[in-house]
Structure 1
Amino acid sequence: MSTAERAGREIKGAARQAARSRALDAATRVGLACRGVLYALIGAVAVQIGLGDGSQEADKAGAIATVAALPFGAVLLWVMTAGFVALALWQASEAVFGGGKAIERVEAVARAAVYVLVVATLLSMLTSGKSPSDDEKSRDLTGTLLGLPGGPVIVGAIGLGLIALGVYWVRQGITKGFREELDRGRMSPRARTVMDRLGTGGYVARGAIAALAGVLVGQAAITYDPDRAGGIDATLRRFADTPAGPWLLVVVALGLLLFAVYCFGESRWRRT
Protein backbone atom coordinates (compact mmCIF):
# COMPACT_ATOMS: atom_id res chain seq x y z
CA MET A 1 0.00 0.00 0.00
CA SER A 2 1.38 3.41 -0.99
CA THR A 3 1.80 6.27 1.47
CA ALA A 4 -1.00 8.20 -0.26
CA GLU A 5 -3.42 5.26 0.03
CA ARG A 6 -2.51 4.76 3.69
CA ALA A 7 -3.04 8.46 4.40
CA GLY A 8 -6.38 8.36 2.57
CA ARG A 9 -7.58 5.43 4.66
CA GLU A 10 -6.47 7.10 7.86
CA ILE A 11 -8.34 10.29 6.94
CA LYS A 12 -11.44 8.30 6.02
CA GLY A 13 -11.23 6.36 9.29
CA ALA A 14 -10.86 9.55 11.30
CA ALA A 15 -13.84 11.10 9.51
CA ARG A 16 -15.95 7.98 10.19
CA GLN A 17 -14.97 8.03 13.87
CA ALA A 18 -15.84 11.73 14.16
CA ALA A 19 -19.22 11.09 12.50
CA ARG A 20 -20.00 8.50 15.18
CA SER A 21 -18.74 10.50 18.15
CA ARG A 22 -20.87 11.05 21.23
CA ALA A 23 -20.71 14.80 20.75
CA LEU A 24 -22.15 14.60 17.24
CA ASP A 25 -24.76 12.09 18.41
CA ALA A 26 -25.91 14.49 21.14
CA ALA A 27 -25.96 17.44 18.74
CA THR A 28 -27.90 15.37 16.20
CA ARG A 29 -30.58 14.58 18.77
CA VAL A 30 -30.83 18.29 19.58
CA GLY A 31 -31.26 18.89 15.85
CA LEU A 32 -34.09 16.35 15.63
CA ALA A 33 -35.85 18.14 18.47
CA CYS A 34 -35.31 21.48 16.67
CA ARG A 35 -36.87 19.97 13.57
CA GLY A 36 -39.87 19.15 15.73
CA VAL A 37 -40.08 22.79 16.81
CA LEU A 38 -40.17 23.96 13.18
CA TYR A 39 -42.89 21.47 12.23
CA ALA A 40 -44.92 22.40 15.32
CA LEU A 41 -44.83 26.09 14.41
CA ILE A 42 -45.65 25.41 10.75
CA GLY A 43 -48.53 23.15 11.76
CA ALA A 44 -49.90 25.70 14.24
CA VAL A 45 -49.87 28.48 11.64
CA ALA A 46 -51.46 26.16 9.06
CA VAL A 47 -54.30 25.42 11.49
CA GLN A 48 -54.85 29.17 11.90
CA ILE A 49 -54.92 29.59 8.10
CA GLY A 50 -57.50 26.81 7.83
CA LEU A 51 -59.63 28.55 10.46
CA GLY A 52 -59.51 31.84 8.57
CA ASP A 53 -56.41 33.67 9.80
CA GLY A 54 -54.01 33.87 6.85
CA SER A 55 -51.78 36.67 8.11
CA GLN A 56 -48.73 34.48 8.76
CA GLU A 57 -46.70 32.21 6.49
CA ALA A 58 -46.70 28.51 7.26
CA ASP A 59 -43.16 27.64 6.23
CA LYS A 60 -39.70 27.19 7.74
CA ALA A 61 -38.76 30.84 7.28
CA GLY A 62 -41.94 31.92 9.07
CA ALA A 63 -41.31 29.45 11.88
CA ILE A 64 -37.74 30.72 12.28
CA ALA A 65 -38.99 34.31 12.38
CA THR A 66 -41.39 33.29 15.17
CA VAL A 67 -38.52 31.81 17.17
CA ALA A 68 -36.44 34.96 16.58
CA ALA A 69 -39.20 37.09 18.11
CA LEU A 70 -39.17 35.12 21.39
CA PRO A 71 -37.20 36.22 24.47
CA PHE A 72 -33.62 35.01 24.01
CA GLY A 73 -34.61 34.27 20.40
CA ALA A 74 -31.07 34.77 19.10
CA VAL A 75 -29.75 32.18 21.56
CA LEU A 76 -32.42 29.72 20.46
CA LEU A 77 -31.56 30.33 16.81
CA TRP A 78 -27.88 29.59 17.46
CA VAL A 79 -28.86 26.35 19.23
CA MET A 80 -31.03 25.43 16.25
CA THR A 81 -28.21 26.29 13.85
CA ALA A 82 -25.84 23.95 15.69
CA GLY A 83 -28.50 21.25 15.71
CA PHE A 84 -29.20 21.46 11.98
CA VAL A 85 -25.48 21.57 11.18
CA ALA A 86 -25.19 18.32 13.14
CA LEU A 87 -28.13 16.85 11.18
CA ALA A 88 -26.47 17.80 7.89
CA LEU A 89 -23.15 16.23 8.97
CA TRP A 90 -24.93 13.11 10.16
CA GLN A 91 -26.76 12.62 6.88
CA ALA A 92 -23.62 13.38 4.89
CA SER A 93 -21.78 10.70 6.88
CA GLU A 94 -24.66 8.28 6.22
CA ALA A 95 -24.30 8.94 2.50
CA VAL A 96 -20.55 8.37 2.56
CA PHE A 97 -20.07 5.73 5.26
CA GLY A 98 -23.57 4.32 5.76
CA GLY A 99 -23.14 1.25 3.60
CA GLY A 100 -26.87 1.01 2.94
CA LYS A 101 -28.77 0.63 -0.32
CA ALA A 102 -28.30 3.15 -3.10
CA ILE A 103 -31.76 4.64 -2.49
CA GLU A 104 -30.90 5.14 1.18
CA ARG A 105 -27.71 7.00 0.25
CA VAL A 106 -29.63 9.23 -2.17
CA GLU A 107 -32.18 9.94 0.54
CA ALA A 108 -29.36 10.84 2.95
CA VAL A 109 -27.90 13.28 0.41
CA ALA A 110 -31.33 14.89 -0.09
CA ARG A 111 -31.82 15.25 3.65
CA ALA A 112 -28.37 16.77 4.07
CA ALA A 113 -29.20 19.32 1.35
CA VAL A 114 -32.48 20.26 3.07
CA TYR A 115 -30.71 20.70 6.41
CA VAL A 116 -28.06 22.89 4.78
CA LEU A 117 -30.84 25.11 3.39
CA VAL A 118 -32.37 25.38 6.88
CA VAL A 119 -28.96 26.36 8.27
CA ALA A 120 -28.69 29.05 5.57
CA THR A 121 -32.13 30.38 6.55
CA LEU A 122 -31.17 30.43 10.22
CA LEU A 123 -27.90 32.27 9.52
CA SER A 124 -29.71 34.78 7.32
CA MET A 125 -32.12 35.52 10.17
CA LEU A 126 -29.26 35.84 12.66
CA THR A 127 -27.13 38.13 10.48
CA SER A 128 -29.73 40.28 8.72
CA GLY A 129 -32.85 39.82 10.80
CA LYS A 130 -34.86 38.48 7.87
CA SER A 131 -34.99 35.65 5.38
CA PRO A 132 -36.85 35.12 2.08
CA SER A 133 -39.95 32.97 2.38
CA ASP A 134 -39.89 29.39 1.12
CA ASP A 135 -42.41 30.40 -1.56
CA GLU A 136 -40.12 33.16 -2.81
CA LYS A 137 -37.07 30.89 -2.88
CA SER A 138 -39.01 28.14 -4.65
CA ARG A 139 -40.29 30.51 -7.35
CA ASP A 140 -36.87 32.07 -7.87
CA LEU A 141 -35.28 28.65 -8.27
CA THR A 142 -38.05 27.48 -10.60
CA GLY A 143 -37.65 30.62 -12.73
CA THR A 144 -33.88 30.08 -12.95
CA LEU A 145 -34.31 26.44 -13.99
CA LEU A 146 -36.97 27.28 -16.57
CA GLY A 147 -34.48 29.67 -18.18
CA LEU A 148 -31.99 26.87 -18.81
CA PRO A 149 -31.90 24.78 -22.01
CA GLY A 150 -34.44 22.05 -21.45
CA GLY A 151 -35.66 23.92 -18.36
CA PRO A 152 -39.29 22.72 -18.48
CA VAL A 153 -38.06 19.12 -18.65
CA ILE A 154 -35.80 19.68 -15.62
CA VAL A 155 -38.58 21.35 -13.63
CA GLY A 156 -41.03 18.64 -14.68
CA ALA A 157 -38.62 15.96 -13.50
CA ILE A 158 -38.33 17.72 -10.13
CA GLY A 159 -42.11 17.80 -9.90
CA LEU A 160 -42.32 14.08 -10.59
CA GLY A 161 -39.60 13.51 -8.01
CA LEU A 162 -41.61 15.39 -5.38
CA ILE A 163 -44.72 13.37 -6.23
CA ALA A 164 -42.72 10.15 -5.91
CA LEU A 165 -41.34 11.35 -2.56
CA GLY A 166 -44.86 12.11 -1.39
CA VAL A 167 -46.06 8.64 -2.36
CA TYR A 168 -43.03 7.14 -0.58
CA TRP A 169 -43.76 9.07 2.62
CA VAL A 170 -47.43 8.08 2.56
CA ARG A 171 -46.36 4.46 2.11
CA GLN A 172 -43.88 4.81 4.99
CA GLY A 173 -46.71 6.06 7.17
CA ILE A 174 -49.25 3.41 6.19
CA THR A 175 -46.80 0.49 6.39
CA LYS A 176 -44.98 2.00 9.41
CA GLY A 177 -41.67 1.75 7.56
CA PHE A 178 -40.32 4.49 9.83
CA ARG A 179 -39.98 1.84 12.55
CA GLU A 180 -36.66 0.82 11.01
CA GLU A 181 -35.21 4.19 11.97
CA LEU A 182 -36.08 3.80 15.66
CA ASP A 183 -34.30 1.81 18.37
CA ARG A 184 -37.51 0.06 19.42
CA GLY A 185 -35.62 -2.17 21.83
CA ARG A 186 -35.18 0.82 24.17
CA MET A 187 -38.86 1.78 23.94
CA SER A 188 -41.64 0.67 26.23
CA PRO A 189 -44.72 -0.96 24.66
CA ARG A 190 -46.69 2.24 25.28
CA ALA A 191 -43.98 4.37 23.64
CA ARG A 192 -43.94 2.07 20.59
CA THR A 193 -47.72 2.40 20.23
CA VAL A 194 -47.66 6.18 20.56
CA MET A 195 -44.78 6.56 18.08
CA ASP A 196 -46.57 4.30 15.60
CA ARG A 197 -49.64 6.54 15.68
CA LEU A 198 -47.64 9.76 15.50
CA GLY A 199 -45.47 8.45 12.67
CA THR A 200 -48.42 7.20 10.64
CA GLY A 201 -50.31 10.48 10.80
CA GLY A 202 -47.19 12.59 10.39
CA TYR A 203 -45.74 10.77 7.40
CA VAL A 204 -49.09 10.66 5.57
CA ALA A 205 -49.47 14.44 6.05
CA ARG A 206 -45.90 15.12 4.86
CA GLY A 207 -46.49 12.86 1.86
CA ALA A 208 -49.67 14.67 0.90
CA ILE A 209 -47.86 18.03 1.05
CA ALA A 210 -44.89 16.79 -1.00
CA ALA A 211 -47.16 15.26 -3.64
CA LEU A 212 -49.23 18.43 -4.02
CA ALA A 213 -46.03 20.51 -4.17
CA GLY A 214 -44.90 18.24 -7.01
CA VAL A 215 -48.16 18.86 -8.84
CA LEU A 216 -47.66 22.63 -8.51
CA VAL A 217 -44.09 22.37 -9.81
CA GLY A 218 -45.37 20.26 -12.70
CA GLN A 219 -47.91 22.94 -13.56
CA ALA A 220 -45.09 25.51 -13.54
CA ALA A 221 -43.16 23.36 -16.02
CA ILE A 222 -46.16 22.91 -18.33
CA THR A 223 -47.23 26.56 -18.30
CA TYR A 224 -43.66 27.94 -18.16
CA ASP A 225 -44.82 30.04 -15.19
CA PRO A 226 -42.62 29.95 -12.06
CA ASP A 227 -45.39 31.62 -10.05
CA ARG A 228 -47.31 28.34 -10.21
CA ALA A 229 -44.66 26.75 -7.99
CA GLY A 230 -44.39 27.45 -4.30
CA GLY A 231 -43.01 26.37 -0.96
CA ILE A 232 -44.77 24.81 2.00
CA ASP A 233 -47.00 27.82 2.62
CA ALA A 234 -48.37 28.01 -0.93
CA THR A 235 -48.86 24.25 -1.00
CA LEU A 236 -50.74 24.19 2.30
CA ARG A 237 -53.03 27.01 1.14
CA ARG A 238 -53.90 24.98 -1.97
CA PHE A 239 -55.48 22.33 0.28
CA ALA A 240 -58.03 24.97 1.32
CA ASP A 241 -58.92 25.47 -2.37
CA THR A 242 -59.97 21.84 -2.86
CA PRO A 243 -63.63 20.75 -2.77
CA ALA A 244 -63.08 19.67 0.85
CA GLY A 245 -62.36 23.30 1.68
CA PRO A 246 -60.37 24.68 4.63
CA TRP A 247 -61.10 21.64 6.76
CA LEU A 248 -58.78 19.53 4.61
CA LEU A 249 -56.03 22.04 5.36
CA VAL A 250 -56.81 21.75 9.07
CA VAL A 251 -56.54 17.95 8.88
CA VAL A 252 -53.19 18.14 7.06
CA ALA A 253 -51.97 20.76 9.55
CA LEU A 254 -52.90 18.50 12.46
CA GLY A 255 -50.87 15.79 10.73
CA LEU A 256 -47.86 18.14 10.77
CA LEU A 257 -48.38 18.66 14.50
CA LEU A 258 -48.38 14.87 14.94
CA PHE A 259 -45.10 14.71 13.01
CA ALA A 260 -43.65 17.44 15.24
CA VAL A 261 -44.35 15.33 18.32
CA TYR A 262 -42.91 12.32 16.47
CA CYS A 263 -39.68 14.32 15.93
CA PHE A 264 -39.39 14.90 19.68
CA GLY A 265 -39.71 11.17 20.27
CA GLU A 266 -37.31 10.52 17.41
CA SER A 267 -34.71 12.72 19.10
CA ARG A 268 -34.68 10.18 21.93
CA TRP A 269 -35.07 6.87 20.11
CA ARG A 270 -33.68 7.46 16.61
CA ARG A 271 -30.85 5.18 15.51
CA THR A 272 -27.88 7.48 14.75
Structure 2
Amino acid sequence: MAERAPAWVEYVMRAGYAARGVVYLLTGGLALLSAWHGGSGEDKKGALSSLFGQPFGEVIILAIAAGLFCYGIWRLICGYMDLEDEGSETKGLVARVGQGVSGLANLGLSFSIARLALGNGSGGDGKEALTSKLLAMPFGQIIVGAVGLTVIGAGLAYLHKGWSEKYRENLRWSPILEKLSLPIRLGLMARGMVVAIIGGFFIFAAVQSDPDQAGGLSQAFDLLRSQAYGLYLLGFVAFGMLAFGIYCWIEVAFRVLPTRQRKGTLTIAQHLKMHA
Protein backbone atom coordinates (compact mmCIF):
# COMPACT_ATOMS: atom_id res chain seq x y z
CA MET A 1 0.00 0.00 0.00
CA ALA A 2 1.42 3.36 -0.97
CA GLU A 3 2.39 5.73 1.81
CA ARG A 4 0.43 8.85 0.95
CA ALA A 5 0.31 10.59 4.33
CA PRO A 6 3.08 13.07 5.18
CA ALA A 7 4.71 12.33 8.54
CA TRP A 8 3.44 15.56 10.13
CA VAL A 9 -0.17 14.55 9.52
CA GLU A 10 0.01 12.01 12.36
CA TYR A 11 1.01 14.70 14.88
CA VAL A 12 -1.79 16.98 13.69
CA MET A 13 -4.25 14.08 13.90
CA ARG A 14 -3.27 13.14 17.47
CA ALA A 15 -3.35 16.76 18.66
CA GLY A 16 -6.86 17.02 17.23
CA TYR A 17 -8.12 13.89 18.95
CA ALA A 18 -6.61 15.06 22.26
CA ALA A 19 -8.49 18.37 22.06
CA ARG A 20 -11.71 16.56 21.18
CA GLY A 21 -11.22 14.29 24.15
CA VAL A 22 -10.97 17.24 26.54
CA VAL A 23 -14.10 18.86 25.07
CA TYR A 24 -16.22 15.72 25.40
CA LEU A 25 -14.96 14.91 28.89
CA LEU A 26 -16.01 18.41 29.98
CA THR A 27 -19.33 18.21 28.15
CA GLY A 28 -20.14 14.77 29.50
CA GLY A 29 -19.13 15.73 33.03
CA LEU A 30 -21.37 18.81 33.05
CA ALA A 31 -24.26 16.83 31.52
CA LEU A 32 -23.86 14.24 34.26
CA LEU A 33 -23.98 16.98 36.92
CA SER A 34 -27.10 18.32 35.19
CA ALA A 35 -28.79 14.92 35.37
CA TRP A 36 -27.80 14.56 39.03
CA HIS A 37 -28.56 18.06 40.33
CA GLY A 38 -30.99 19.42 37.74
CA GLY A 39 -30.55 22.20 35.19
CA SER A 40 -29.67 22.19 31.52
CA GLY A 41 -26.72 20.40 29.94
CA GLU A 42 -24.07 22.50 28.25
CA ASP A 43 -22.98 22.46 24.62
CA LYS A 44 -19.29 22.35 23.73
CA LYS A 45 -18.62 26.07 24.04
CA GLY A 46 -20.74 26.29 27.17
CA ALA A 47 -18.68 23.49 28.69
CA LEU A 48 -15.44 25.26 27.82
CA SER A 49 -16.81 28.48 29.33
CA SER A 50 -16.65 26.70 32.69
CA LEU A 51 -12.86 27.04 32.47
CA PHE A 52 -13.08 30.84 32.76
CA GLY A 53 -11.87 31.99 36.16
CA GLN A 54 -9.73 28.88 36.57
CA PRO A 55 -5.93 29.18 36.68
CA PHE A 56 -4.72 29.56 33.07
CA GLY A 57 -8.33 28.96 31.93
CA GLU A 58 -8.09 31.18 28.84
CA VAL A 59 -4.76 29.62 27.86
CA ILE A 60 -6.28 26.13 28.16
CA ILE A 61 -9.26 27.18 26.00
CA LEU A 62 -6.91 28.59 23.33
CA ALA A 63 -4.91 25.34 23.41
CA ILE A 64 -8.12 23.36 22.90
CA ALA A 65 -9.09 25.69 20.03
CA ALA A 66 -5.67 25.04 18.45
CA GLY A 67 -6.19 21.30 18.86
CA LEU A 68 -9.62 21.44 17.21
CA PHE A 69 -8.04 23.47 14.40
CA CYS A 70 -5.57 20.59 13.99
CA TYR A 71 -8.47 18.12 13.93
CA GLY A 72 -10.24 20.13 11.26
CA ILE A 73 -7.09 20.27 9.10
CA TRP A 74 -6.57 16.54 9.60
CA ARG A 75 -10.11 15.70 8.44
CA LEU A 76 -9.77 17.92 5.36
CA ILE A 77 -6.43 16.36 4.39
CA CYS A 78 -7.76 12.89 5.18
CA GLY A 79 -10.70 13.31 2.82
CA TYR A 80 -8.68 14.99 0.06
CA MET A 81 -5.78 12.51 0.09
CA ASP A 82 -7.93 9.52 1.06
CA LEU A 83 -5.65 8.67 3.96
CA GLU A 84 -8.10 6.10 5.32
CA ASP A 85 -8.37 4.26 1.99
CA GLU A 86 -12.09 4.84 1.51
CA GLY A 87 -11.64 4.61 -2.25
CA SER A 88 -13.21 6.47 -5.17
CA GLU A 89 -16.43 4.49 -5.48
CA THR A 90 -19.72 6.12 -4.45
CA LYS A 91 -19.57 4.85 -0.86
CA GLY A 92 -15.96 5.97 -0.47
CA LEU A 93 -16.61 9.40 -1.98
CA VAL A 94 -19.55 9.94 0.39
CA ALA A 95 -17.30 9.05 3.34
CA ARG A 96 -14.58 11.41 2.12
CA VAL A 97 -17.04 14.27 1.64
CA GLY A 98 -18.23 13.60 5.18
CA GLN A 99 -14.65 13.88 6.40
CA GLY A 100 -14.34 17.23 4.64
CA VAL A 101 -17.58 18.52 6.15
CA SER A 102 -16.38 17.40 9.59
CA GLY A 103 -13.13 19.25 8.97
CA LEU A 104 -14.88 22.49 8.06
CA ALA A 105 -17.22 22.20 11.06
CA ASN A 106 -14.30 21.73 13.45
CA LEU A 107 -12.39 24.63 11.91
CA GLY A 108 -15.43 26.83 12.49
CA LEU A 109 -15.73 25.56 16.06
CA SER A 110 -12.04 26.22 16.74
CA PHE A 111 -12.31 29.84 15.54
CA SER A 112 -15.47 30.33 17.59
CA ILE A 113 -13.82 28.93 20.73
CA ALA A 114 -10.75 31.11 20.15
CA ARG A 115 -13.00 34.18 19.94
CA LEU A 116 -14.68 33.05 23.15
CA ALA A 117 -11.32 32.84 24.94
CA LEU A 118 -10.32 36.28 23.65
CA GLY A 119 -13.60 37.81 24.78
CA ASN A 120 -14.94 38.42 21.28
CA GLY A 121 -17.69 35.81 21.16
CA SER A 122 -20.53 34.22 23.09
CA GLY A 123 -21.09 30.70 24.29
CA GLY A 124 -23.95 30.05 21.84
CA ASP A 125 -23.85 27.41 19.17
CA GLY A 126 -24.64 29.71 16.24
CA LYS A 127 -26.73 27.03 14.53
CA GLU A 128 -29.80 29.28 14.53
CA ALA A 129 -27.85 32.03 12.73
CA LEU A 130 -26.49 29.56 10.18
CA THR A 131 -29.95 28.07 9.61
CA SER A 132 -31.44 31.54 9.20
CA LYS A 133 -28.90 32.35 6.46
CA LEU A 134 -29.55 29.05 4.71
CA LEU A 135 -33.33 29.48 4.84
CA ALA A 136 -32.95 32.93 3.24
CA MET A 137 -31.25 31.37 0.20
CA PRO A 138 -33.15 30.07 -2.86
CA PHE A 139 -34.46 26.59 -2.02
CA GLY A 140 -33.38 27.30 1.55
CA GLN A 141 -35.77 24.81 3.14
CA ILE A 142 -34.46 22.05 0.88
CA ILE A 143 -30.87 22.96 1.75
CA VAL A 144 -31.57 22.94 5.50
CA GLY A 145 -33.45 19.66 5.13
CA ALA A 146 -30.47 18.18 3.26
CA VAL A 147 -28.15 19.36 6.05
CA GLY A 148 -30.44 17.66 8.56
CA LEU A 149 -30.42 14.39 6.62
CA THR A 150 -26.62 14.55 6.35
CA VAL A 151 -26.26 15.10 10.10
CA ILE A 152 -28.67 12.24 10.82
CA GLY A 153 -26.61 10.06 8.47
CA ALA A 154 -23.47 10.96 10.44
CA GLY A 155 -25.24 10.02 13.66
CA LEU A 156 -26.30 6.66 12.23
CA ALA A 157 -22.70 6.08 11.10
CA TYR A 158 -21.49 6.56 14.68
CA LEU A 159 -24.19 4.16 15.92
CA HIS A 160 -23.16 1.58 13.32
CA LYS A 161 -19.46 2.03 14.14
CA GLY A 162 -20.15 1.34 17.80
CA TRP A 163 -22.67 -1.49 17.33
CA SER A 164 -20.63 -3.35 14.71
CA GLU A 165 -17.29 -2.54 16.39
CA LYS A 166 -16.03 -1.16 13.10
CA TYR A 167 -13.62 1.02 15.10
CA ARG A 168 -11.42 -2.10 15.32
CA GLU A 169 -10.23 -1.39 11.79
CA ASN A 170 -8.57 1.88 12.84
CA LEU A 171 -7.00 1.07 16.22
CA ARG A 172 -3.69 -0.69 16.85
CA TRP A 173 -4.15 -3.95 18.69
CA SER A 174 -3.32 -3.94 22.39
CA PRO A 175 -4.48 -6.19 25.26
CA ILE A 176 -5.60 -3.00 27.04
CA LEU A 177 -8.19 -2.26 24.36
CA GLU A 178 -9.82 -5.66 24.81
CA LYS A 179 -10.92 -4.44 28.25
CA LEU A 180 -12.18 -1.11 26.90
CA SER A 181 -14.62 -2.45 24.32
CA LEU A 182 -17.71 -1.50 26.35
CA PRO A 183 -16.84 2.18 26.97
CA ILE A 184 -15.71 2.58 23.36
CA ARG A 185 -18.99 1.20 22.03
CA LEU A 186 -21.04 3.19 24.53
CA GLY A 187 -19.21 6.39 23.60
CA LEU A 188 -19.68 5.96 19.86
CA MET A 189 -23.36 5.03 20.17
CA ALA A 190 -24.18 7.86 22.59
CA ARG A 191 -22.41 10.29 20.26
CA GLY A 192 -24.44 8.90 17.35
CA MET A 193 -27.70 9.34 19.26
CA VAL A 194 -26.99 12.99 20.04
CA VAL A 195 -25.82 13.79 16.50
CA ALA A 196 -28.98 12.19 15.05
CA ILE A 197 -31.15 14.30 17.38
CA ILE A 198 -29.34 17.46 16.22
CA GLY A 199 -30.02 16.41 12.61
CA GLY A 200 -33.68 16.07 13.54
CA PHE A 201 -33.67 19.67 14.78
CA PHE A 202 -32.47 20.80 11.34
CA ILE A 203 -35.23 18.79 9.64
CA PHE A 204 -37.84 20.36 11.94
CA ALA A 205 -36.41 23.84 11.25
CA ALA A 206 -36.69 23.15 7.49
CA VAL A 207 -40.29 21.92 7.73
CA GLN A 208 -41.35 24.86 9.92
CA SER A 209 -39.12 27.33 8.04
CA ASP A 210 -38.06 28.53 11.47
CA PRO A 211 -34.33 28.86 12.29
CA ASP A 212 -35.12 28.91 16.03
CA GLN A 213 -35.98 25.20 15.77
CA ALA A 214 -32.35 24.35 14.97
CA GLY A 215 -30.34 23.26 17.99
CA GLY A 216 -27.15 21.74 19.25
CA LEU A 217 -25.96 19.64 22.17
CA SER A 218 -27.68 21.64 24.91
CA GLN A 219 -31.03 21.43 23.08
CA ALA A 220 -30.51 17.70 22.55
CA PHE A 221 -29.88 17.29 26.29
CA ASP A 222 -33.02 19.33 27.06
CA LEU A 223 -35.07 17.11 24.74
CA LEU A 224 -33.83 13.97 26.46
CA ARG A 225 -34.56 15.47 29.88
CA SER A 226 -38.16 16.26 28.86
CA GLN A 227 -38.94 12.62 28.03
CA ALA A 228 -40.33 10.01 30.41
CA TYR A 229 -37.40 8.84 32.56
CA GLY A 230 -35.56 11.82 31.08
CA LEU A 231 -33.02 12.08 33.90
CA TYR A 232 -32.00 8.48 33.30
CA LEU A 233 -31.73 9.09 29.54
CA LEU A 234 -29.65 12.21 30.13
CA GLY A 235 -27.47 10.34 32.60
CA PHE A 236 -26.92 7.52 30.09
CA VAL A 237 -25.96 9.98 27.33
CA ALA A 238 -23.73 11.91 29.77
CA PHE A 239 -21.85 8.71 30.57
CA GLY A 240 -21.69 8.13 26.82
CA MET A 241 -20.14 11.57 26.24
CA LEU A 242 -17.55 10.82 28.93
CA ALA A 243 -16.88 7.47 27.25
CA PHE A 244 -16.53 9.21 23.87
CA GLY A 245 -13.98 11.58 25.41
CA ILE A 246 -12.03 8.53 26.62
CA TYR A 247 -12.35 7.02 23.13
CA CYS A 248 -10.81 10.19 21.65
CA TRP A 249 -7.81 9.76 23.94
CA ILE A 250 -7.60 6.11 22.90
CA GLU A 251 -7.39 7.41 19.32
CA VAL A 252 -4.47 9.63 20.37
CA ALA A 253 -2.49 6.59 21.52
CA PHE A 254 -3.69 3.78 19.25
CA ARG A 255 -5.00 5.32 16.00
CA VAL A 256 -3.54 3.71 12.87
CA LEU A 257 -3.50 5.36 9.46
CA PRO A 258 -3.80 2.70 6.73
CA THR A 259 -1.53 4.79 4.51
CA ARG A 260 1.17 5.03 7.21
CA GLN A 261 0.78 1.66 8.94
CA ARG A 262 4.19 0.49 10.08
CA LYS A 263 5.39 -2.99 9.17
CA GLY A 264 4.42 -5.50 11.83
CA THR A 265 1.71 -3.26 13.30
CA LEU A 266 -1.68 -4.95 13.47
CA THR A 267 -5.07 -3.35 13.96
CA ILE A 268 -7.54 -4.99 16.33
CA ALA A 269 -9.48 -6.32 13.33
CA GLN A 270 -6.34 -7.82 11.76
CA HIS A 271 -5.30 -9.40 15.07
CA LEU A 272 -8.71 -11.00 15.56
CA LYS A 273 -8.74 -12.27 11.97
CA MET A 274 -5.33 -13.90 12.43
CA HIS A 275 -6.46 -15.63 15.63
CA ALA A 276 -9.96 -16.55 14.50
Give the TM-score category using the shorter length.
0.7 to 0.9
Give the TM-score of the pair, scaled to structure 1. Answer: 0.83
Deviation at 1:108, TM superposition (A): 1.7
Report the more deviating stretch, 125-134 or 85-94: 125-134
Q: Which residue of 1 aligns with 2:24?
A: 39
Alignment CA distance shift 1:67-1:30 (3 Å): farther
C-alpha distance in 2 between matches for 1:237 and 1:226: 18
Deviation at 1:230, TM superposition (A): 0.7
C-alpha distance in 1 between matches for 2:75 and 2:196: 23
C-alpha distance in 2 between matches for 1:33 and 1:221: 34
C-alpha distance in 2 between matches for 1:254 and 1:200: 12
Encode CA deviations 1:234-259: one digit per residue, 9 max, x unaligned: 11110111223221111111111111
C-alpha distance in 2 between matches for 1:271 and 1:249: 32
Encode CA deviations 1:39-97: one digit per residue, 9 max, x unaligned: 01111111122234326x51111122123432112322232233222222222221221
Counterpart secondary structure, 2:222: helix
Deviation at 1:106, TM superposition (A): 1.4
Report matched runs for 1:253-272 at 5 Å: 253-272=238-257
Q: Which residue of 1 aligns with 2:221?
A: 236
Q: Which residue of 2 aligns with 1:84?
A: 68
C-alpha distance in 2 between matches for 1:213 and 1:200: 20
Q: Which residue of 1 aligns with 2:7?
A: 21
Report matched runs for 1:142-221 at 5 Å: 142-184=131-173, 187=174, 189=175, 191-221=176-206
Alignment CA distance shift 1:130-1:141 (3 Å): closer
C-alpha distance in 2 between matches for 1:160 and 1:107: 12
C-alpha distance in 2 between matches for 1:132 and 1:264: 25
Alignment CA distance shift 1:31-1:192 (3 Å): same
Deviation at 1:228, TM superposition (A): 1.5
Deviation at 1:27, TM superposition (A): 4.1
C-alpha distance in 2 between matches for 1:224 and 1:27: 39
Q: Which residue of 2 aligns with 1:222?
A: 207
C-alpha distance in 2 between matches for 1:219 and 1:87: 30
Pair 1:66 & 2:69 matched: no
Pair 1:131 & 2:122 matched: yes
C-alpha distance in 2 between matches for 1:82 and 1:46: 24
Q: Which residue of 2 aligns with 1:7?
A: none
Counterpart secondary structure, 2:200: helix
Structure 1, unpaired ranges of 5+: 1-15
| Matched length | 248
Cα RMSD, aligned residues only: 2.1
Pick the structure with more helix per residue.
Answer: 1
- Give me the identity figure in percent: 29
1:28–1:84 Cα contact (<8 Å) kept: no
Encode CA deviations 1:102-154: one digit per residue, 9 max, x unaligned: 133112202211220221122202322643411xx111111221222221111
